[in-house]
Amino acid sequence: MYQKWYATAVTTTVAHRVAGSLDTLIHDGLRALDITATERERVVSRYTQLGEALDEHWIATRGDNSISPQGSFALGTVVRNVHRSDDIDIDCVALKDVAKASVGQAELKADVGIAARKYARSACSGGPELSQCSRCWTLSWPGMHLDILPAIPNDDAGGSNIWITDREVSRWLPSNPGGYADWFRGRMHAQLLHERAVEAKRLEVEDVPEWQVRTVLQRVVQALKRHRDIYFSDRLDERPSSIVITTLAAHAYTGSGDLYEVLRNLPAEMARHLTRVQGRWTLPNPVQDGENFTDSWASEPERAEYFFEWVEEAERTFRSFGMSKGLERTLPLLESAFGSRFATAASASLGQSLFGARQRGQLYVGNRGTLSAATGGVAAGSYSVKGHRFGGGPTR
Amino acid sequence: MQALALRSVVPDGRTSLTPRQLIWRGRVRPLLQSQTYELHLTARPARPPKVTVTAPALQPDGAGRLPHVYDDGSLCVSQFGDWQPHMLFTATFLPWSCEWLVYYELWLATGLWFGDGPDRLDQASQAQILHPFRA
């Protein structure tokens, strides 16, 4: 089981990471909460098949129907849902290429439901269950849930702008998930290029696709969302939304620092990017004029209190990791913040990386007995550690 | 030779040397996130040394056992043939003991000893490495 997680998680660059540092422990824990390459392939294949079913169903439209992932899948910040047995939740937009005047909100939603049902019954779908919430449809497979949000193009605004239905399915709301994903990527553009180059070099290939790497910002957003989910375990409705957390983190991220440094410093910085305008908390959608992500905080002021309560706790918790000494103290802190799947993966990964380095003859010892699993050069004065086996019991 | 090498890795370690025995004490911190431990190493000519952890006190499980320790409480970090008299402690018993300490901290946190490899994580293998511990 430990090996499987290690082998199938989305690849990230590890050459520069120090074994047993907080940066590495958190990185390895988060990998176990990420979507795996196999799951990703399955998601793409499922929404592509669903897209074909929709296209067939909408054969009489203008012809540019599409289905595309949005939210965390598009941003590279998927984190397993701790409240659904660590399942993967994916959001996508089903865009019907028709004019706004030609279709009503309820009609569009029902229409998408017909195609989704047809797809769910098809032989290739794997027999997912279909359910609906206020404005979207959900296909559920064991371990995975795909939310489908019906939409039409926003011809007035153009580009990647779309209209989606509101929760009452009676009004059109402007949205632009594609534009938001571009904005988010822009906040870590240099880091994305760097991670891709490092990974390509490690794999000895010319290039690697963007989905195959994770930047520090993406990892930090995953960590923040996971901490939020666990912190609000017994009051899920009070959780600050992912879009608020993601936007604030992206604003606060300066582009430098290792994963733990950024995680430790970001919560305090995030809160500074919320402003009060005429007595209302404001966090503008960076790609959608007039949209305030914290709009609901005006009518439900307790939401602001929940956010600030959580962000303070996140800062306290993340700082406490750095003050503990001894893995037997640090790992339980990580488990309490991010859950057992995270802590188990972080422990197993450290154990395997040391064991693997010893087996490969790449384990070194330096000042004060500090061990390092080096693939490149090592510090002067370090000794290469000879191979050995622990005595007694079933050892090699 | 051994004493000089030990000093290069742990500059403030203390060595006492007689013709028949080398005793070394030093503080190590195997990983950034590890605790600092004081080790005590005793070596006689041409024989593998004994390494014990003198501080902080090791914490055995509820049944008073630790993984990979000898009856006298020293760490069992090698098997016959792993060490040869020409090998430096700084490339063998010192880092092997540091490895033991990392796996020990992981064992305290998870109940699993990762030091024998990923295919030795099953319950039966894990049970076999535990040994009564006397400080």
Q: What are phi and psi of A156, to 5 degrees?
A: -65, -45
Residue contact A381–B8, C-beta within 8 A: yes
Interface test with A, best of B12, B28, B31 (most A CBs within 10 A): B31
Surface of A (316-355) touching B: CB under 8 A = 324-328, 330-332, 343-344, 347-348, 350-352, 354-355
Of B90, B99, B104, B100, the residue nearest B49 (C-alpha): B90
Surface of B (1-60) touching A: CB under 8 A = 5, 8-11, 26-36, 39
pLDDT tens, position by position, B9-35 = 999 999 998 989 999 999 999 999 999
Beta bridge partners of B23: B16, B42
Alpha-carbon distance of A73 to A79, in angstroms, equals 9
Beta bridge partners of A163: A152, A174
Angle between helices A216-231 and A22-31 (to 10 degrees): 70
| Burial readout B5-42 (b: 16 or more C-beta within 10 A, e: otherwise) | ebbebbeebebeeeeeebebbbebbbbebbbebebbbe
| pLDDT score at B100 | 98
ipTM: 0.95
pLDDT confidence band for B69 (50 / 70 / 90): very high
| pLDDT score at A379 | 67
Of A250, A255, A270, A283, the residue nearest A184 (C-alpha): A250
Q: Beta strands B14-18 and A144-153: pairing type?
A: unpaired
The pLDDT of B42-60, averaged and rounded, is 95
Please report, as a single letter, which amino acid is at residue A358. R
Alpha-carbon distance of A137 to A110, in angstroms, equals 9
Q: Which run of H or E residues covers position A269? A: helix A259-272
Strand blocks (E) in chain A: 66-70, 88-95, 129-132, 137-141, 144-153, 162-165, 172-175, 275-277, 280-282, 363-365, 371-373, 383-384
pLDDT confidence band for B108 (50 / 70 / 90): very high
pLDDT tens, position by position, A10-46 = 444 434 568 889 999 999 999 999 999 999 999 999 9
Taking the Cβ of residue B67 and every Cβ of chain A, the question of whether any pair is shorter than 8 Å is answered with yes
CB atoms within 10 A of CB A29: 28
| pLDDT score at A17 | 67
Residue contact B98–A392, C-beta within 8 A: no
Q: Which run of H or E residues covers position B68? A: none
Q: Which residues contact B43 (CB under 8 A, 6 or more apart)?
A: B2, B21, B22, B23, B24, B49, B50, B89
Of A346, A290, A247, A324, the residue nearest A26 (C-alpha): A346
Q: Write down the number of H helices and E strands in chain B.
A: 3, 6
Q: Which run of H or E residues covers position A331? A: helix A327-338
Q: What is the DSSP string of A153-172?
A: E-TTT-TT-EEEE-TTSSSE
Surface of B (75-104) touching A: CB under 8 A = 76-79, 82-83, 87-88, 90-92, 94-100, 102-103
Residue contact B115–A390, C-beta within 8 A: yes
Nearest to B90 among A359, A365, A395 (CB): A365
| pLDDT score at A375 | 66
Please report, as a single letter, which amino acid is at residue A153. P
Which residues in chain A land under pLDDT 70? 1-17, 62, 375-380, 392-396
Interface test with B, best of A327, A342, A385 (most B CBs within 10 A): A327
Angle between helices B93-110 and A327-338 (to 10 degrees): 40
> Distance from A314 to chain B by nearest Cα, in Å?
20
| pLDDT score at A50 | 93
3-state secondary structure of A85: coil
Considering just the CA atoms, what is the radius of gyration of chain B in Å? 15
Residue contact A395–B36, C-beta within 8 A: no
Alpha-carbon distance of A195 to B27, in angstroms, equals 37
Q: Which residues contact A41 (CB under 8 A, 6 or more apart)?
A: none
| pLDDT score at B129 | 94
